[in-house]
Structures are given as structure tokens and as C-alpha cells.
Structure 1
Amino acid sequence: MQRKRDPVERADDGSTDLYDVATWEPRSPIDLVACVVYNGISYALQSIVIAVALAITVVLLAQPAFLVFDEPFLGVFFGLSVVPAALLAAFIWYTDITTNEPLGLLVATFVLAVLFATLAAVVNSFLSPWFDLLPLIGGVLFFYVVVGPVEEAVKLLAVRFFAYRSDSFDAVIDGAVYGAVAGLGFAAIENALYISMEVVQAEAGLFAAATGITTVRALVGPGHVIYSAIAGYYLGLAKFNPQYAGPLVVKGLLVAAFVHATYNATVTLGRDVIAATTALPEGLALVVYVIGFNLVVGYYLYRKIARYRRRYRAAEVDGRDSPSPELTEFDPPKQRQQR
């Protein structure tokens, strides 16, 4: 969006110095001091947020760390629980038809998502008892008012902190890539916490308990990747449509939070309905429902990415004298930059 200009600047032919009249850039010592103070406050606030999140993360991960120290096999289960989510995030990264994203930014987004996930855990834990006071509808309201919005917001914050500001974030689809990585980070720490709690509460058969909860968390993880990739896609749209940035970010969060909360609110009912109508065991019915839900929501994300890829290819063809043969969906195009 073109920068708005004051009437004095618009009327000037460029021959007049309008510094401190209608334009400004740091020149004087006080200007430089102002810039330093502003940047200091900005970075200080970011540092405080990260420091608080880090402290909470250390506290929450203390139990999983001690468990792994006593029972090293649990570390394998922590890793296995994020394999499906990692594969899905890798697939979304692969579908980025523009340029490779820097590994440093991907890692930073993952780590920030891990840290900020603990902020969501604190908020959820603090507000949950208040919703428990509401009979019948309290749990459902909690999912739609707190869990969905808060968890999707902290994942998007992980993208917004660094990746969004980078020059490497140079295409709308990059938002989906970084959003998927943030979802992976969130799933990783959430899975570790759930598995450790289940193992601690198990009276006997730690291996069986770890296997069961790891299977469940492995199914849930891809959902986090899909939800935050959707929100991230709209964050990408916001970056390149600054006049509508606010509404676009809100739209992405609303969509992601709604599908996230809908999953939480319906997963038990969906499992029971499938088990009752198909005579499947509850465990298998849960697998069917979770995979089915993720496929439906994932198809929504897939269509957005596929449409972007088609338009990107069309734009490349329009810029050349002779078009190349059309590629099948998600085949690696020869024209892809840096890949």
C-alpha cells in the first residue's frame, strides 16, 4: 500500500527539505535517542514475553525431563508422538512453490511455539474451573471461548515474532509454512506433557500406558499443524494486503479457532456415534473420527495451497515467451526458485 502523504508533501516538487514539517527521518542526536529508546522498549517487551514463557516452560517440562531420566524409553514415545505432525508439516513446506525458507527461521518459529504453548496452558488451567461451574454447556463454551482462540493465537504469535518480519517471508504461502511449523512445536510440547501425565497416573504397566497415550497424541498432532497453517495462510495474506491486515488476521484466527474448538467439542461424541453405529471398538472408532476430521479440515487447507500454486504457475507462464507443460498437483516444478 502506498504511503499516505501530507498535503504539504504532495504539493512539493521535491526541492524543499520538509524534515520535521511533513516528513521525518532520524537526523539529530535527539532523533537518534528516540529511535534507540523505541527499539529498546520494543525489544525489551519481546524479551520479557520470551523470558516468562521460558520460565513457565522449564517448570512444566521438569516432570517429563525427570521421567525420561528415570525411564529413557519414554523419550522414544515423545518423539514418535510427533512423527505424523512432522510429516504433515514437511509436506506443507514441500508445497511452497516459491522459495525455501531459512532453516534458522523455521527452528526459531518451532522453539517459540514450544515456549508460547506453555502460556496457553497457564491460561487454560486458570480459566477452566470457571467454566466448570456452568452445567451442560460449560465445557463446550470453554473450547470455543478459551482453548481454540488462545491456542491458535499463541501459535500465530510464534510466527509473528520473527518470521513474519523477515524479508524471507516474501509470499502468502510462506504464512502456511511457518504456521505449520508453529503447530508442530505446539504439538511437540503438548504431547510430552500429556504422555508424562498419563504415565505418572498409571498404577502399573508404564509401557502399555505410554503406548496408548502416544497413539492418541500422534493422531491429535496433525490437527495442530493444519489449524495453525490455516491461520498462518491468512497472516501471509495480511502481510501483502496491509490495508486489510487486521481483519485478515482475525479471519484466520476465527477459522482456525473454530475448527480447533469443534474438534475438541465433538471428538468424544463422534467416537461414540461411530462405535455405536459400526460396532467398532472405541479405540478404533476414535482413530476413524480423528483421521476423518483432519482430512476434512486438511482438504480446506489443501484447496487454498493448491489454488495459490496454480496462480503462481500461471504468473510464471505469463512472464515467459513460451509456456511449459502443465504440471500435476504438487509435482516439483522446474521453475521453482532455489529448489
Structure 2
Amino acid sequence: MKIDLLILAIAPTIACMLWIYLKDKYDREPIRLLGKFFIMGVFISIIAIIIEGILIKIKIFEGYSNYIFMSFIVAGLTEEGLKYIVLLPNLVKEKKFDEKLDGIIYSIFLSLGFATIENIIYILFENRNLAFEVGIIRAVISIPAHVMFAITMGYYISKYKFSNEKIKKREYLILSILVPVLLHGIFDFILMIEYRWSVVLFIIYIIFLWKINLDKLDHYIDKSKIRFLKKRKKK
């Protein structure tokens, strides 16, 4: 076993879990439940590998059409779709899901379970000479991207759960899968196109991705704080 590479593969997801756990400082979720969602993400990753392997063998597209297929269908729809199928029913019925921030927290833990297996495969099966470079790049770009997609999904699932308007609930339900798939697809598509300007475009997109999703996270953290202070006043 390549212990050093295994550590390199799991360290970023552990760091991200610790980061989001500490963010949830007003009403922390039980570690047991967070672990449950993480493990679900692990199993989803295995299923995704199988499905993606089958889809990759479909050789009906060429050029940019193939880039779109690989980015939005093979990667975006398969990965985010599987997360959504498992996350939504398990999260909505969870009794501990009692504030909007929780949707993001559980979504991130599930996504990090998924990303951990993906990272291990990418790094441990890479050429030893390139494995360290791949590990660093994925730690800086790919793992945080999974977190950003998870924030989006959890954000809209929370809006769905706590909304009382039927039309709005339907809208949030659609957005909770549509937006993460699009964000993921765009992320992969920019990486696939081989133009010099695509590097600049990718950097701009990463900044945009972080900005919109960290704003969502901060918004729900503020709501969690307000809820916590109101509870304290009642006591």
C-alpha cells in the first residue's frame, strides 16, 4: 500500500470536513449522522464509476459534442444525479434537519464521501512520478469544487424543505439538481477545451463558483446564528 499517496488522497477531504463542521458552530449536527451521509457518498461513488465506465464506451460523439457529453452527462448528470437521488429522500425525512444550514452540511459530507473514493482512485492508480502533482491539483481544485456543487444542492434542498408555497417548492426541487449539474458540467467542459484562454476562463469560473456558493453558506450561517440567539433569549 502506498501510504504516502493514500494520505495525500484523503487529507483534502478530511480538511474540508473539519472546515464545514467548525462552520456549523451554533447547532452542530451529530457526528454519527454526518458519518452516515459520508458513507452514503462512498457507495454512490462506486456506482458512479460503473455508470461512467459504461457511458464513456459510447463513441457516438466527436469534438465539442463529445466534450459536452463527457462534461454534462457522464460527469455532471451522473455524479450530481446520483448524489441527488440518495441525498434528497434521506435528508428530507431526517429529524435533525431542522434549519436551512443543515441541508448544506449534510450535502457536503455526502459529497466528500464521494470525492474521497474518487480521489483515492485518481491518485493511487496514477503513475508514481505524477501522483503527487495530481494529488495537489485535485486538493486545490477538484475537492473544493465538489464542496461548491454540494453547497448549491444543499442550499436549494433546504429552500424546498422549509418553503410553504407549492410552486416555489417545485421550483427549488428542480433547481437543487439542475444547477449543480450545470455548474459541474461547465467546470469539466472548461478543463477539456485546450485553448490558452481557457486557463483564464477557468480561473474566472472558479472565483465565480466560490463567490456564489460561499455567499449561500454565509447566508445560512447568519440564519443559524439568529435562530440560536432567539433560542437563548427564550431561555
Name the TM-score, length of structure 1 as normaliser. Answer: 0.60
**Partner Cα separation in structure 2 for residue 312 and residue 222 of structure 1:** 23
**Partner Cα separation in structure 1 for residue 30 and residue 225 of structure 2:** 23
Q: Helix, strand or coil for the counterpart of 2:175?
A: helix
| CA-to-aligned-CA distance 1:8-45 (integer Å, 9 cap, x gap) | xxxxxxxxxxxxxxxxxxxxxxxxxxxxxxxxxxxxxx
Aligned: 1:153 with 2:81: yes
1:293 Cα deviation after fit: 4.0
Match of 1:249 among 161, 169, 173: 173
Partner residue in 2 for 1:297: 209
- Distance of aligned partners of 1:77 and 1:196 in 2 relative to their CA distance in 1, 3 Å threshold: closer
Match of 2:221 among 285, 301, 309: 309
Structure 1 runs not aligned, ≥5 long = 1-67, 69-73, 200-205, 278-287, 322-339
- Distance of aligned partners of 1:268 and 1:135 in 2 relative to their CA distance in 1, 3 Å threshold: closer
CA RMSD between the two structures: 2.8
- Distance of aligned partners of 1:75 and 1:235 in 2 relative to their CA distance in 1, 3 Å threshold: farther
**Partner Cα separation in structure 2 for residue 162 and residue 254 of structure 1:** 19
Aligned residues: 229
Aligned: 1:211 with 2:132: yes
Letter in 1 for 2:62: P
Q: Report matched runs for 1:67-106 at 5 Å.
A: 68=1, 74-96=2-24, 98-106=26-34
**Partner Cα separation in structure 2 for residue 166 and residue 317 of structure 1:** 24
Q: Which structure has the higher relative contact order (CA within 8 Å, separation 6+)?
A: 2
Partner residue in 2 for 1:236: 158
Aligned: 1:138 with 2:59: no
CA contact (8 A) 1:82 1:184 kept: no
1:318 Cα deviation after fit: 7.1
Partner residue in 2 for 1:117: 45
CA contact (8 A) 1:113 1:154 kept: no
- 101-110 or 157-166, which moves further after superposition? 157-166
CA contact (8 A) 1:82 1:191 kept: yes
CA contact (8 A) 1:110 1:184 kept: yes
Which protein has the bigger helix share? 2
1:312 Cα deviation after fit: 4.6
- 177-186 or 232-241, which moves further after superposition? 232-241
Q: Which has the larger radius of gyration?
A: 1
CA contact (8 A) 2:10 2:120 kept: no
Identity over aligned residues, as a percent?
Answer: 21
Letter in 1 for 2:132: T
CA contact (8 A) 1:93 1:177 kept: yes
**Partner Cα separation in structure 1 for residue 66 and residue 227 of structure 2:** 50
**Partner Cα separation in structure 2 for residue 99 and residue 268 of structure 1:** 41
